[in-house]
Structure 1
Amino acid sequence: MSDTLWWQHGVVYQIYPRSFQDSNGDGIGDLEGIRRRLDHLCWLGVDAVWISPVFPSPMADFGYDIADYRGIDPIFGTIEDFDRLLAEAHARGLKVILDFVPNHTSDRHPWFLESRTSRESPYRDWYIWHDPAPGGGPPNNWLANFGGSGWEFDAPTGQYYFHSFLKVQPDLNWRNPAVCRAMYDALRFWLDRGVDGFRVDVIWLLVKDDRFRDNPPNPAWQPHEASINRLLQVYSADRPETLEVVEEMRAVLDEYEERVLIGEIYLPLERLMAYYGRDMKGAQLPFNFQLIFTAWNAAAIARIVAEYEAALPPGGWPNWVLGNHDQKRIASRVGRGGARLAAMLLLTLRGTPTLYYGDELGLENVAIPPDRAQDPWERNEPGLGLGRDPARTPMPWDAGENAGFTTGRPWLPLNEDRAERNVASLSADPDSLPHLYRHLIALRRGHAALSTGDYVSVATEGEVLAFERRRGGVRLLVALNFAQSPARLALPGDVAGADLLLSTQPGRDTAPVTAEWQLGPEEGVVLALR
């Protein structure tokens, strides 16, 4: 792998820290808990851990409302706990990626507290303030992602401030050079401590229209959808100046050796590609979420992979995501059988894969009683199924009380099948899903064709998606049967045969593969062609 960087050939594992491991009995996961569970990540074989926000915060949006970019919230521990975790992760060969939230702060951040003291405050222009509309009311029609207007009136100063999310999350003004300098210095604070990179939250929202024009209506919006979709965010998102900011962030990381900038970007494919930047000086990995939203069938997935590969700019490195803290669990979207197939798809496509904690166990969405709901989006827009709590529930480690997650009351309910679906039980079963993830990651590490080789499409037949990964004369065929019935697999006509390297189906016979071979229902295989 000497010809690629760690973030190109490696596998990233996302941890939602509130839910990974509690070490002090308060029912909330913490940094010490993550440190104690590093061996699980090493057992899986992942290369890097991305940790969702752990900075000081009032927790209105569970860490995505930051009150201090240079500290650790006491809920998660201390800066010394972080340094210890970072050192032990590095000692095990694991990289550490932090979640950086630059679009907005908490309304309790000292910058905002000072900003709202008066219109003459030196920090006033650090946020987006605007006079009311001529007839009164919000300056324009921009909406908040969590429901309602994006503008909040501040009576003492007689102006509105803009918030892309909750009203307690005021947006920073990235047109102000002082904001840029302060945020870049915050990045350097963590880079100097040894952090290996950042996943940047809602990076495409950073810059807003300087003329504050109304967003146009979305003709495709349906009442059952989130209210933010009522308008097309033409003027409150993805402004041209945003790319300049991304390139400046990347320049900060380039002051250090082998650091990675990952951007959270929910945009159409052609706009996503722009975030690689001019001459590949933007985000190294603009997150590619297409697998989360596409139909779960061979034809649809073959199409999006082909379109994505074709759209990549020269030098752009691909990446794939199947789950995260904002989306439904994989197993709930595609079923238990589909979850095994999804693991093979994610870990054999060309590019950097990101796993979400618990997906290696086949965790499903957990039903959250109304009185246990925590997510502010669910509370603001009830009844639309927008709540993200079901995919953020605690990691089940064993069959003991509270599944080994905490000695207290878990902040969210545990999965009902935790007595069987937990790390200890499944790790003891060689046919289990975590073992499949482990074998797939080991296969990637052992075969450069899988981790860094070329992607070559093979004609899709029915519900069988097939593609090759090639490097240095080595050809590996990946075939995935999305049907719940057996399907024929035809080997490429220019090969003499193939050897089975791995199947998602436990106990699959390892006899040589012939020209006419059958895949089982929802079975995926990796074959070495010869």
Structure 2
Amino acid sequence: MYMKRAGFYIVLICLLSLSCTNEETKEEQSTDLSTKRTWWKEAVVYQIYPRSFKDSDGDGIGDLKGIISKLDYIKSLGIDAVWLNPVYESPNKDNGYDISDYQNIMKQFGTMNDFDVLLKGFHDRGIKVMMDLVLNHCSNEHKWFKEASKSRSSPYYHYFHWWPAEKGEPPYRFSIFDEKGYGWEFNKPTNSYYLHYFGDFQPDLNWENPALRQEIYTMMKYWAKKGVDGFRMDAFAFISKDTTWPALPAEYNGNWTLYYASGPHLHEYIQEMNKEVLTPYKLVTVAEAMGDVPRVKLFVDEDRNELNMAYNFEAIDFGYLPNEYKMPDPNGWDLVKWKGIYKKWDSAFTEKGWGTMYLGNHDQPRMVTRWGNDAPEFRELSSKMLTTFILSMRTTPYYYFGDEIGMSNIKFDKVEDYNDVELHTNYAQVKAKSGDMKRFLEGMKISSRDNGRTPMQWDTTTGAGFTTGMPWLKINPNYNTVNVAAAEKDANSCLNYFRKMIKLRKDNETLIYGAFTLVDADNPDVFAFTRELKGKKFLVLLNFRNKEVSVKTGIDVRKAEVLINNYTTAPVADKLRPYEAVIFKL
């Protein structure tokens, strides 16, 4: 998931899509809801950031063989599919989101043979694989751009967006990764400027060119024929451009990315892709987009043959100060308003479409720090509470590696410790404006993407069992107590709670398809809701505070069955202990 927010990235919508096969789709209708039963609605997806998962050769960088060595661990979690962040050949200026060869593997990660072994290993264990795919732009080291930048007469010149210098300065476009925020870069050999919504090393692809689109479809088919089950599509809503290059409309001032996601041919291109690739090859796709409910419904309406699942970034971006790069509100965030966001997006998909749920990924800090409490006395409790939340909503849950053991933010003190191009860009912008650098770095301890990218903590050996060498990003010092080996030995660990919660979800279709109803909505401390299907009703209670709080759901739970609880002692009616999570069967 590739959140490029520079103070302007307000609301993102990520869309999950696929074409269903007869053997993989249960056409059975729920008696309570209009939704159709489908395997991907029932799946739990585990996201792996390969660079930080497991290093097999001691170079400090995670790789494919490292993942292969942990296949049985991944299977033991009970998950159904994995999303792999980019593993394609890349100069790695943006950790693989600058692809220089779509049909080869980054040498740091291994070989194509390693990938084939990995794919077979997942499939042998009944786990589907979704690869990350960047389609809005490529690397300036891709052969297409290398040829395009030599001459206007090159056929590849039209694979990108150019503005001839003889026409004067290009119309302003904002660049999310450019320190000056300018989205055009001059190229001397062609005497023209190329467009880049992100870094100047990431030229935007010209989807208006049918030849480019066919190149993309051919490449996708290459991976589909290998057996890949689908793709996560990065910055996908930006692919269509208004090539009349009007001045940016005033209503988008301060929110250029929403304008970028409003290209005139966006849905036409998605429908073409669906027809040529997604439906024939029965692929799952996860795609970033932007917009409110009406916009998203255009993507997920089954009758439009585009994408058929969506999840919102509105909730994940909640609690940051406006017009600042990921600066947490010092007053905290309003749980009542946050609940309202989830209620709104659940309601959007009661008849058509399907949501997805996540609290952490490679573009986010660790969920226990951002939404829970990483203090030693509350880390495990709040981590389990958040796991309960993710796995009890009416969505397909996406769960980020390391969260199953309660990994937390590393909280770097120095900008030099950060690797993230997005952070360094925004650091330079704040510094250029003589901003408060200490305040900026304190905010990044909560929100920086690198907090979610530190290496996996496997055990207490040097390198946390991740590497025998120097890790590419520092390892959180708490690996001595927070690690997989210790969690495996503890029946009450976050890891084993995660496994129990997955099993509970799979054993109870009410937690998958049941209607979602918010209760005790005005409670500022508790997120409470019911799930109901075919006469079965569950009550989910989640305390988001570090204190005991009262609950007023109007539901008598004294005789209800406790399905799961993150405390080892029984819950108390109408009260929740700090960060307590409990699910009752009524």
The two structures share one fold, judged by TM-score above 0.5: yes
1:232 aligned residue (256, 272, 277): 256
CA deviations 1:435-456 (Å, max 9, x no partner) are 2211111100111111222223
1:170 CA drift (Å) = 0.5
Aligned pairs (5 A) from 1:337-486: 337-368=381-412, 369-382=414-427, 383=437, 384=440, 385=444, 387-460=448-521, 462=523, 463-486=525-548
**1:248 corresponding residue in structure 2:** 272
Gap runs ≥5 in structure 2? 1-24, 29-36, 320-332, 374-378, 428-436
1:141 aligned residue (172, 196, 208): 172
**Whole-angstrom distance in 1 between the partners of 2:251 and 2:63:** 41
**TM-score, normalised to structure 2's length?**
0.83
**Whole-angstrom distance in 2 between the partners of 1:190 and 1:412:** 30
CA deviations 1:159-210 (Å, max 9, x no partner) are 0000111111110001111111110111111111111111100011111111
**2:7 corresponding residue in structure 1:** none
C-alpha distance 297-38 of structure 1, shift in aligned 2 (>3 A) = farther
Answer with 147-156 or 475-484: which moved more: 475-484
Contact 2:520 2:553 (C-alpha < 8 Å) held by counterparts? no
Aligned pairs (5 A) from 1:76-475: 76-132=109-165, 134=167, 136-137=168-169, 139-147=170-178, 148-216=181-249, 230=254, 232-233=256-257, 235-251=259-275, 252-257=277-282, 259-277=283-301, 279=303, 281-295=305-319, 298-312=335-349, 314-334=351-371, 335=373, 336=379, 337-368=381-412, 369-382=414-427, 383=437, 384=440, 385=444, 387-460=448-521, 462=523, 463-475=525-537
**Whole-angstrom distance in 2 between the partners of 1:396 and 1:468:** 35
1:12 CA drift (Å) = 0.6
Secondary structure (helix, strand or coil) at the match of 1:451 reads helix
Aligned pairs (5 A) from 1:27-46: 27-46=60-79
**Whole-angstrom distance in 1 between the partners of 2:566 and 2:251:** 42
State the AA in 2 paired with 1:480.
Answer: L
Contact 1:262 1:284 (C-alpha < 8 Å) held by counterparts? no
Answer with 115-124 or 386-395: which moved more: 386-395
**2:585 corresponding residue in structure 1:** 528
CA deviations 1:414-457 (Å, max 9, x no partner) are 00100001111122222221222111111001111112222233
1:249 CA drift (Å) = 2.6
**Whole-angstrom distance in 2 between the partners of 1:32 and 1:285:** 32
CA deviations 1:239-289 (Å, max 9, x no partner) are 2311222222333121124x3111122433433333225615222333422
Secondary structure (helix, strand or coil) at the match of 1:182 reads helix
State the AA in 2 paired with 1:310.
Answer: S
| Aligned-residue CA RMSD (Å) | 2.3
C-alpha distance 501-23 of structure 1, shift in aligned 2 (>3 A) = same
**1:519 corresponding residue in structure 2:** 576
2:564 aligned residue (498, 502, 512): 502
C-alpha distance 179-345 of structure 1, shift in aligned 2 (>3 A) = same
Secondary structure (helix, strand or coil) at the match of 1:476 reads strand
Secondary structure (helix, strand or coil) at the match of 1:254 reads helix
CA deviations 1:97-152 (Å, max 9, x no partner) are 10010111111111111111211111111100112485x43x01101111321100
Contact 2:301 2:352 (C-alpha < 8 Å) held by counterparts? no
What is the percentage of aligned positions where both structures have the same residue? 39
CA deviations 1:337-385 (Å, max 9, x no partner) are 4333221111101010101111122222223443343222223231554
State the AA in 1 paired with 2:271.
Answer: E
State the AA in 2 paired with 1:140.
Answer: P
Gap runs ≥5 in structure 1? 220-228
Query: How many residues of Structure 1 are paired with residues of Structure 2 in the alignment?
Result: 512
**Whole-angstrom distance in 1 between the partners of 2:462 and 2:449:** 25
Secondary structure (helix, strand or coil) at the match of 2:575 reads strand
Answer with 280-289 or 429-438: which moved more: 280-289
**2:11 corresponding residue in structure 1:** none
State the AA in 1 paired with 2:526.
Answer: V
1:409 CA drift (Å) = 0.6
**Whole-angstrom distance in 2 between the partners of 1:167 and 1:313:** 42
State the AA in 1 paired with 2:566.
Answer: T
Secondary structure (helix, strand or coil) at the match of 2:480 reads coil
**Whole-angstrom distance in 2 between the partners of 1:470 and 1:207:** 41
Secondary structure (helix, strand or coil) at the match of 2:530 reads strand
1:52 CA drift (Å) = 0.3
Contact 2:365 2:450 (C-alpha < 8 Å) held by counterparts? no
Secondary structure (helix, strand or coil) at the match of 2:102 reads coil
C-alpha distance 424-411 of structure 1, shift in aligned 2 (>3 A) = same
